[in-house]
Structure 1
């Protein structure tokens, strides 16, 4: 009970301290987090199945359409069959319009999630996909073929246990509730005390300057009032997977 109260108080202080600070990358005049009240914005996917208020609370993902500017994206009827070996080491190079990121994937910790990411990356699903939700001092969110926060691969898959913290450079799945993972994921651009509701599947080992460059993209208020909608087009160019 005490820990829950302390975390809630910390989140409120973070939101208040972010208002009007020099590091705010918002191009709008209203304060950061004003649409969220006392709940921290989180990595959510605003899908039709998402619970009320989910989009204002966390990193999210969902849907089954495409952003015309991203080209036609495949939709799948079910999650991919297991094609990775959890005993091997998998690395991803995420090439973006802001630079490259090298990521160590946690195949042993989150085999279902890494398998999903590897499958989609190798199939070209992430190619030309936008970073549609950017929040400096929090996270950069991408993986939606629609570029709106409502898209996904056409299926959901289960959460996996979270044993690590949401530290700077961490990759985790966005969702709209329990067991609603799809294709959307986020990269932490700052340490943040999120509840462990988002499966962690990797960590940036090289390219934190690129994470910062994405985080520094100017943003404005989206449809819900959250200061996270980039005014500059930032995209994944391609993702290359290696294993050893």
Structure 2
């Protein structure tokens, strides 16, 4: 499933099902790291064309994926408990409600528990949220996992800078469960390509500790960095 190619101007981060996060701005064309099964996973489009209510607030169908709760109306923060310490994030619930609700629903049902930060690039980002990474026997597939659906982007006016929490994707409107936390001062080449749905408010030292972890092939940590649980906070 891998393509061989030469990196010239930048490194490329493969994040599953053809998902990519370019490390720097460039016009070069680079093939996908993974063929994946992106086309086999139907996007979730419910509510995309539904207009807002007359009072200019979003309807519940605009704020959530089918079957999910509108937890963004109840929770504004979450604490990510890792084996290296805790990271507290605050969400942009009004600016990217569907993305926030997706993350909160996956967290509430324990989908993220036991997943790993499977990709780390120093001075750029740490990446996690692959649901396959719970299973060590599937380590060859880490970076390709996610839920059984994809949903649309929700770009906003928040720039992707150090501490930003954003969705990994395989191109427009292919969000699932994988996310990353930015460690670079700024990443303007990612703005308008990856939904920024929150930012770190406590525990950036833990993010730095994860970032400093030794890595091997595919930027994978040599020692497991586990997202043990997520606690939602109002």
TM-score, normalised by the number of residues in structure 1 = 0.69
Q: Is the CA contact (8 Å cut-off) linking 1:110 and 1:201 kept in structure 2?
A: yes
Q: Give the aligned CA root-mean-square deviation in angstroms.
A: 2.9
Give the direction of change, closer, same or farther, for the CA distance of 1:136–1:115 in structure 2 (3 Å limit): same
Q: Any idea what SS the aligned residue of 1:203 has?
A: strand
Q: Structure 1 residue 87: deviation in Å? A: 5.4
* Aligned mate of 2:118, from 124, 132, 147: 132
Distance in 2 between the 1:45 and 1:62 partners? 13
* Aligned mate of 2:12, from 41, 62, 66: 41
The correspondence of residues 169-208 of structure 1 with structure 2, limited to 5 A, is: 169-193=163-187, 194-196=189-191, 197-208=193-204
Match of 2:137 in 1: none
Give the direction of change, closer, same or farther, for the CA distance of 1:81–1:207 in structure 2 (3 Å limit): same
Q: Structure 1 residue 146: deviation in Å? A: 1.6
Distance in 1 between the 2:178 and 2:8 partners? 25
Distance in 1 between the 2:216 and 2:79 partners? 29
Q: Any idea what SS the aligned residue of 2:131 has?
A: coil
1:114 aligns with 2:100: yes
1:237 aligns with 2:231: no
Distance in 1 between the 2:37 and 2:190 partners? 20
The correspondence of residues 27-66 of structure 1 with structure 2, limited to 5 A, is: 36-42=7-13, 44-47=14-17, 53-55=31-33
Higher alpha-carbon deviation: 162-171 or 109-118: 162-171
Q: Is the CA contact (8 Å cut-off) linking 2:103 and 2:177 kept in structure 1?
A: yes
Q: Structure 1 residue 82: deviation in Å? A: 5.0
* Aligned mate of 2:89, from 88, 97, 103: 103
Q: Is the CA contact (8 Å cut-off) linking 1:96 and 1:234 kept in structure 2?
A: yes
Q: Structure 1 residue 54: deviation in Å? A: 3.5
Distance in 2 between the 1:238 and 1:35 partners? 38
Q: Structure 1 residue 62: deviation in Å? A: 7.7
Distance in 2 between the 1:176 and 1:77 partners? 12
Match of 2:69 in 1: 83
Q: Structure 1 residue 80: deviation in Å? A: 4.3
Q: Structure 1 residue 41: deviation in Å? A: 2.8
Give the direction of change, closer, same or farther, for the CA distance of 1:98–1:199 in structure 2 (3 Å limit): same
TM-score, normalised by the number of residues in structure 2 = 0.72
Give the direction of change, closer, same or farther, for the CA distance of 1:217–1:119 in structure 2 (3 Å limit): same
The correspondence of residues 189-228 of structure 1 with structure 2, limited to 5 A, is: 189-193=183-187, 194-196=189-191, 197-222=193-218, 228=219
Give the direction of change, closer, same or farther, for the CA distance of 1:231–1:80 in structure 2 (3 Å limit): farther
Give the direction of change, closer, same or farther, for the CA distance of 1:232–1:106 in structure 2 (3 Å limit): same
Q: Is the CA contact (8 Å cut-off) linking 2:127 and 2:181 kept in structure 1?
A: yes
Q: Is the CA contact (8 Å cut-off) linking 1:98 and 1:234 kept in structure 2?
A: yes
